Amino acid sequence: MTRYIDYGLTKKYPNKYHLTPKSIKKLRILDWNRLKEKTWFNYARKGKWWCHLEGCQYPKGVVYDDSDEFWIGFDEETNAIVHSFTCYGGMCHYNFDEFYSINSIGGVRDLNVQVNAIRWLNTMIDEGILGLPNG
């Protein structure tokens, strides 16, 4: 497997809350009104799901790249949070245990989707929209 890392990028967008893919579903929704402003209502899912999608483009402002994607959904009825990472244009799951681990980053797209997910999640926590499990 090819490995890739850009320490400048991971330093610019640190995993300051020590999130893991497994811990994302344990986050708490603190402000539904503001969360709805940052997400879209998903009519395709059963229930009242609000969702967000991040691709692997970098820097911000370039054309969206869906080669790798991070999707996260919030169920308004149960406060459940689910997410997924995909690669190869959504054809495969992209599974990893730890953000920014060089052993799970096969190229620039893998790194960029992790950076974009961490950047978005950090913002949601910083703004008090989402909270840490024990915070």
Say which amino acid occupies 114: Q
State the pLDDT at residue 135: 59
| Better-predicted residue by pLDDT, 41 or 2 | 41
Residues 6 or more apart in contact with residue 91 via CB below 8 angstroms: none
| Residue whose C-alpha is closest to residue 45's, from 92, 89, 82, 91 | 82
Average model confidence (pLDDT) for the chain?
A: 94
Cα 34 to chain center, whole Å? 17
Percent of the chain with pLDDT over 90: 87
State the pLDDT at residue 58: 79
Residues in the chain: 135
Q: Average pLDDT of 128-133?
A: 96
| Better-predicted residue by pLDDT, 19 or 64 | 19
- Where are the extended beta strands (E) located within the chain? 28-29, 40-42, 49-54, 69-75, 81-87, 92-93, 130-131
pLDDT tens-digit series, residues 52-73: 999 999 766 677 889 999 999 9
Rounded CA-CA distance 50/96 in Å is 24
| Better-predicted residue by pLDDT, 99 or 47 | 99
Q: Average pLDDT of 126-130?
A: 98
| Residue whose C-alpha is closest to residue 131's, from 52, 47, 23 | 23
**Would the pTM count as exceeding 0.75?**
yes
